[in-house]
């Protein structure tokens, strides 16, 4: 069974940093890209970032480029999202999902909540 489990969500102050993790199981992790998508409370989905299967390629939404960094450790079946200079607009549930590079995602985790507030 495909599983993606996000962790690391927390309450953080404006200007702070946080690292999210996405740990995968049930599929060949090294064959798939992993995407982060977020959803602010009561709002729609926002694509955030993606990393290729090898980790050699990444893409970011304009809203997070320069502040967020995506990385992966294929030995741990885990993808990370390093988030810096957080603002209230980054408050959201963050989902990770698997798919092929440059394509749709087919399985999603259940999400982790990030709240940016003083």
Partner 1 sequence: IVLTQSPATLSVSPGETATLSCRASQILNNNLAWYQQKPGQAPRLLIYGASTRATGIPARFSGSESGTELTLTISSLRSEDFAVYYCHQYDKWPLTFGGGTKVEIK
* Binding site residues, partner 1, CB under 8 A: 35, 37, 44-47, 50, 59-62, 95, 102-111
DSSP string, 53-109: SSS--EEE-TTTBTTEEEEEETTTTEEEEEE-S--GGG-EEEEEEEE-TTS-EEEE-
| CB of 43 vs partner 1, minimal distance in Å | 9
Give 15 or 45: the residue with its C-beta nearer to partner 1: 45
| CB of 41 vs partner 1, minimal distance in Å | 12
Chain CA centroid to CA 57, Å: 15
68: nearest Cα among 40, 102, 35: 35
Residue 70 half-sphere exposure, CB side, CA atoms within 13 Å? 24
Give 38 or 72: the residue with its C-beta nearer to partner 1: 38
| CB of 75 vs partner 1, minimal distance in Å | 26
| Structure tokens given for 22 | 């996405």
Give 5 or 16: the residue with its C-beta nearer to partner 1: 5
Give 60 or 91: the residue with its C-beta nearer to partner 1: 60
| CB of 115 vs partner 1, minimal distance in Å | 17
């Amino acid at each position: 069974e495909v599983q993606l489990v996000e962790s690391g969500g927390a309450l953080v102050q404006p200007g702070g940093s946080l690292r999210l993790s996405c740990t995968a199981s049930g599929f060949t992790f090294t064959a798939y890209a992993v995407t982060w998508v977020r959803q602010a409370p009561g709002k729609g989905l926002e694509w955030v970032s993606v990393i290729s299967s090898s980790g050699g390629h990444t893409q970011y939404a304009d809203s997070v480029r320069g502040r967020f960094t995506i990385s992966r450790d294929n030995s741990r079946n885990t993808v990370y999202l390093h988030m810096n200079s957080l603002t209230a607009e980054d408050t959201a549930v963050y989902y990770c999902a698997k798919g092929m590079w440059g394509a749709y995602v087919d399985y999603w985790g259940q999400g982790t909540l990030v709240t940016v507030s003083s």
